[in-house]
Structure 1
Amino acid sequence: MWTIDADALESIAIGAGILGTGGGGNPYLGKLSARRLLRSGKRVEVVSLDEVDDDWRIVTVGGMGAPTITIEKISRGTETYEAMRALESYIGRKVDAVIPAEIGGANSIEPMIVAAQAGIPVIDADGMGRAFPTMPMITYFIYGLSCYPCAVCDEKGNKIVYTEGVDAHWLERLSRTAAVQMGGHAGAAVAYMTGADAKRTAIRDTLSWAKRVGDSVRDARFRREDPLDAVLESTGGTVLFCGKIAGVDRRTVDGWARGSVTIEGTDDYAGSTMDVAFQNENLVAWVDGSVVTTVPDLICIVNRDDGEPVTTEMLRYGYRIFVVGIPCSPMLRTPEALEVVGPPAFGYDLPFVPLEVVR
């Protein structure tokens, strides 16, 4: 077990922002919310999966909606906590711990906020090892857990509990429709499971990983070293491109931020162009028309000067960035996972070729 203080929070916000592949919600806003709780005396304790009892009751908590809306819509700060309480009320039992759905942006920090509000620990694991835009892409559901019951709540206090349904695809449609009607963003609690379930279906130690990435970037800044080297060393990633953002086509559609970004190459990539398509998260990257990386491997856009993550809602003309590819968890490369998180799941008629093979 370890405790998150202000210093660890700073590192996790950077690391989760990078590993979130552009999505998961703005990490800066999540950091501010968590920092306020820490200053008020709340504690955030993190436990590893090995410390979790098999009979614990656990739930995934986080925000759902378009990142472009979350940076503009004023939050009450208790939406996700209230969603968890609504789920507990239906179940008739308090949960023992919360676990992230994804290790991306604010959705890595939101479970810490709920844990602090409820006085329970957060588990050092998640259901993606990155961020994805839809609920069926969570490993808990890929590997057999039920997505029901599920609760969503908005800042006005509206709560909906989905008790039964067909599958995670239907729950995604229904809950996202609710989130859109709630103003484009809502807190959610889903994936009610036991500790034994979490050990079987979760990707381990991802909060610790995010912290190590952030620590490495911050240390490089302090030493006035290249943050790119820090990102590559702490993630096992490889440079896909370096350049300046030349154009952004972004729109908010059906509760997602969809679009693409065009990057003009500089340095070793001068004369080339990279295009990256995204749906909240970065999905496919092309250089001069040839595919270089696809989901589920991670495509991360990072500020060239300081190593800060550049999320999809923050993409702007003129930003000087580097693009890093990071191999995804082996749990996302199985045949059953690729049916849900591979390029065809997002509408791209492309095979998944592991990053290390492409490079």
Structure 2
Amino acid sequence: MQEITSDWIEPLWYGSIFLGSGGGGKSELLASVLDKALQNRVIPLLTLDELSESNFFCGIGLLGSPELCEENLPSGKEASIAIEELEKYTGFQFNGISIVEGAGVNIFYPLLAALQTGLPVIDGDAMGRAFPELQMTTYHLENLPVTPLVLVDGSYNVHLFLEKQDTFLLELNTRQIVCQQGGVGYFAGFPYSGSVLKKVLLPSTLTFAREIGECFLHADNYHELFNLLLEVTSNSFYGPIVEIFQGTIKNISAYETAKWKAATLISPKGEELQLLFQYENLLAFKNGHIAASVPDLISAIDLNKLKPVNNNEIYEGQPLVLLGLPAPLRLRINKALDVVGPQCFGYRTIYVPLEKLYWDYYHEKEVFF
């Protein structure tokens, strides 16, 4: 069994931003809180192989606005309340915490909950990146419900969703409560045994996020950073990264609703790329053709700071490089694309894997599909 110590936090922070693919929320303050809390404590980290098949675990996460979460930092007590209520209903005594969204603030909040409860955390998650909705998980792909679920809002009011419920409907109902009750909420749900989680969760994604973050800490220049990231990703179940574009942000525009945004980047040679995003980066177009598409990750790196950035941190004139990371294969099957493909975000286009878009690059690396 590994242990998460304070040494994990900085690399995990950078990794959480990279895997957020532009979204996932700013995790700096939560990371800082954890760093201080872990100066004299540790969090046990269980691999999927170490899970007892008969023990039960619950998924912990944050819904709503990560920005509001930073304005009123959670303590982890919210999760303790939710777990206690969930144990009352299910009759289970949970033996650990699982991560639902392995990116952004939802990497760090379960760790805060683990410190509050004394429970270990599982090294794996149900998204492998940042996604905005509850149905965009590997649980949904296995027809496993989120419920029973307990939601604690920002005022510590408890909301119960105990009966089996369609995940799309549950997403709407929980979001409505969160919007009415301060814009942020904390949940405990996905109560499953170790035998189920071994089949459902994407393995070792917490460790992978840390390894990604270590690349940013050890690189002195972009060339070195790219090679470090290439080594880490090539030895993962994602796939080797590829450079999509390098240039400066020319402009950022919003459409009729704030949800729809685009950034135009221009290269030193005058080439342009359009990056379409909502919370996460979802599509990239170069010369009128798709250059990358969700569920593959499109992650931005500030070339001045040599650090990954969220979409709420980009600005006109900023030099960026966009890197593509192939999504895990389980997010690419047709059933998964029905909930995480471009059309699920309102775009009239189909998913095209990075390996097809950059055939020569991946063929040289003997990555086949």
TM over 0.5: yes
The residue type paired with residue 232 of structure 2 is S
CA distance in 2, matches of 1:358, 1:224: 23
CA distance in 1, matches of 2:134, 2:326: 21
Partner residue, 2:7: 7
The residue type paired with residue 145 of structure 2 is S
SS of equivalent residue, structure 1 residue 349:
coil
Query: Where does structure 1 lack aligned partners over 5 or more consecutive residues?
Result: none
CA 1:138/1:89 → structure 2, altered by over 3 Å: closer, same or farther?
same
Matched, 1:243 2:243: no
Deviation of the 1:114 alpha carbon:
1.0
Partner residue, 1:106: 105
For 1:265-344, what aligned pairs fall within 5 Å after superposition?
A: 265-267=266-268, 270-344=269-343
Partner residue, 2:363: none
CA 1:305/1:6 → structure 2, altered by over 3 Å: closer, same or farther?
farther
CA distance in 1, matches of 2:115, 2:11: 18
Deviation of the 1:229 alpha carbon:
3.3
The residue type paired with residue 167 of structure 1 is D
CA 1:272/1:294 → structure 2, altered by over 3 Å: closer, same or farther?
same
CA distance in 1, matches of 2:147, 2:256: 27
Contact 2:66 2:105 in 1 (8 A): no
Contact 1:60 1:101 in 2 (8 A): yes
For 1:1-359, what aligned pairs fall within 5 Å after superposition?
A: 1-39=1-39, 41-71=40-70, 73-78=71-76, 79-221=78-220, 226-235=224-233, 236-249=240-253, 258-267=259-268, 270-359=269-358
CA distance in 1, matches of 2:273, 2:184: 31
CA 1:264/1:336 → structure 2, altered by over 3 Å: closer, same or farther?
closer
* Stretch moving more, 243-252 or 82-91: 243-252
CA distance in 2, matches of 1:185, 1:38: 25
CA distance in 2, matches of 1:173, 1:249: 28
Contact 1:140 1:198 in 2 (8 A): no
The residue type paired with residue 241 of structure 2 is G
Query: Where does structure 2 lack aligned partners over 5 or more consecutive residues?
Result: 234-239, 359-369
Give the TM-score normalised by structure 1: 0.91
Deviation of the 1:225 alpha carbon:
6.5
SS of equivalent residue, structure 2 residue 219:
helix
* Stretch moving more, 143-152 or 119-128: 143-152
CA distance in 2, matches of 1:249, 1:68: 21
CA distance in 2, matches of 1:29, 1:85: 26
Q: Count residues in correspondence.
A: 351
Deviation of the 1:165 alpha carbon:
4.4
Give the TM-score normalised by structure 2: 0.89
The residue type paired with residue 306 of structure 2 is G
CA distance in 1, matches of 2:74, 2:97: 20
Percent sequence identity over matched residues?
30
RMSD between aligned residues: 2.1
Deviation of the 1:304 alpha carbon:
1.3
SS of equivalent residue, structure 1 residue 62:
strand
SS of equivalent residue, structure 2 residue 284:
strand
Structure 1 segments (4+ residues) deviating >6 Å: none
Contact 1:57 1:192 in 2 (8 A): yes
Partner residue, 2:362: none
Deviation of the 1:42 alpha carbon:
3.3
